[in-house]
Amino acid sequence: MSVPLIELRSISKRYGEGAAELMALKTIDLRIEAGEFVAIMGPSGSGKSTAMNILGCLDTPTGGQYLFKGARVETLSRDQRARLRRRYLGFVFQGFNLLARTSAKENVELPLLYRGDSAHDRARAAAQALSDVGLAGWETHTPGELSGGQQQRVAIARAIVTQPAVVLADEPTGNLDTRRSHEIMGLLMALNRDHGITVLMVTHEPDMAAYAHRMVHFLDGRIAKDAVNPTPTTEAPASALSETT
Ligand code: ADP
């Protein structure tokens, strides 16, 4: 059997000690193949963010193994983990997390700047990424001049400009109205389908999770359900697109 892109083996995460000890994750097992589109769901406090932080190499588990392309992540140094993150992972957040007085193009170029790419390469890649998210022509606009949906597109362009294997999206539509939410989901769906990017997305909204091909439900630090979605949504319902907000 081929090596999965991502494998969590008996991953646990403990916060605090003694009376304050809390097991945020209790021996999680999860395999994700390259090219999957997975929705992570579950009530508040069930461990979704903790799992995403571990998957994103932003935090380390207290037990178990995380294998990324077969490499044992917890054995890597902090620098090696940061390199893995920069090379393979892109992040999208609920609050967009863009630099306010900085143009769309410069926001998108940031990960390439950290990586040491030349100004010429940065400009070319940022223009392409902005075009991929439908924002060609908006390069010089700052976040304040863009709608919420457009800001999230810039954030997605920033996440894909390094051509990552995986995009980790934490409530990417949490700050958007229904219509913009469906537009963002359409974009994530297209990036998964056309660019082969693996998408892991936390969402509370069943309508948005419905775009994913697989749904993983967390409950009390465990995976309570992990099921294929037999009929993923492929386009926004007409009712959502007719919304005028
Ligand atoms: P979710 O994302 O599903 O809302 P979290 O992963 O944020 O859940 O939290 C899981 C549990 O871990 C919760 O009980 C939360 O209070 C606890 N927790 C999360 N982060 C910390 C932390 N840094 N310190 C202590 N407890 C934490």
Q: Is the dihedral of CA 146, 148, 153, 154 positive or negative?
A: positive
What number does the ligand 1 atom closest to the CA of 25 have? Answer: 10
Residue 7 lies in a domain: no
181 touches ligand 1 (CB under 6 Å): no
> Is 17 within the bounds of a domain?
no
- pLDDT-based confidence at residue 32 (cuts at 50, 70, 90): very high
The finding on whether 103 has its CB within 6 A of some atom of ligand 1 is no
Q: Candidates 41, 49, 55, 58: which one to mutate for ligand 1, based on the most atoms within 8 Å of Cβ?
A: 49
pLDDT above 60 for 244: no
Q: Model-level pTM?
A: 0.94
The answer to the question of residue 77 being in a domain is no
Q: Is the CB of 24 under 6 A from ligand 1?
A: yes
CA 137 to chain centre: 25
In short, whether 50's Cβ falls inside 6 Å of ligand 1 is: yes
Q: What CATH code is carried by the domain that includes residue 136?
A: 3.40.50.300
Q: Distance between CA atoms of 238 and 187, rounded to whole angstroms?
A: 17
- Residue 74 burial class via C-beta count within 10 angstroms: exposed 0-12, middle 13-18, buried 19 and up: middle
The protein residue with its alpha carbon nearest to ligand 1, atom 20, reads 50
- Measure 50 CA to ligand 1 centroid, in angstroms: 6
What is the model's pLDDT at position 240? Answer: 75
Record the tokens describing residue 5, joined without a space.
Answer: 């892109």
The answer to the question of residue 81 being in a domain is no
Residue 69 lies in a domain: no
Q: Specify if 163 maps to a domain.
A: yes
Mutate to test the pocket of ligand 1, among 11, 12, 14, 15 (most ligand atoms within 8 A of CB): 15
Give the mean pLDDT of 188-199. Answer: 96
CA distance 210 to 214: 9
* pLDDT value, residue 239: 78
Instruction: Please tell me the distance from the alpha carbon of residue 38 to that of residue 213, in angstroms, as a whole number.
Output: 6
Report how far ligand 1's centroid is from the alpha carbon of 15 (Å): 8
* CA–CA distance, 34 with 44 (Å, rounded to integer): 28
Number of domains observed in the structure of the chain? 1
Q: Whose CA is nearest to atom 5 of ligand 1?
A: 47
Domain that holds residue 227: 34-63+86-241
Question: Which residues neighbour 37 within 8 Å (Cβ) at sequence distance 6 or greater?
Answer: 188, 189, 192, 198, 199, 201, 211, 212, 213, 214, 232
- The predicted-structure confidence for 67-95, as pLDDT tens digits, reads as follows 999 999 989 999 999 999 999 999 999 99
Name the closest-CA residue to atom 22, ligand 1.
15
> What pLDDT is attached to residue 243?
56
Q: Is residue 182 part of a domain?
A: yes
Average confidence (pLDDT) over 211-238: 95
Express each pLDDT in 100-140 by its tens digit.
Answer: 999 999 999 999 998 899 999 999 999 999 999 999 999 99
Distance 159 CA to ligand 1 centre (A): 25
The answer to whether residue 57 is domain-embedded is: yes
Tokens of 61: 């588990």
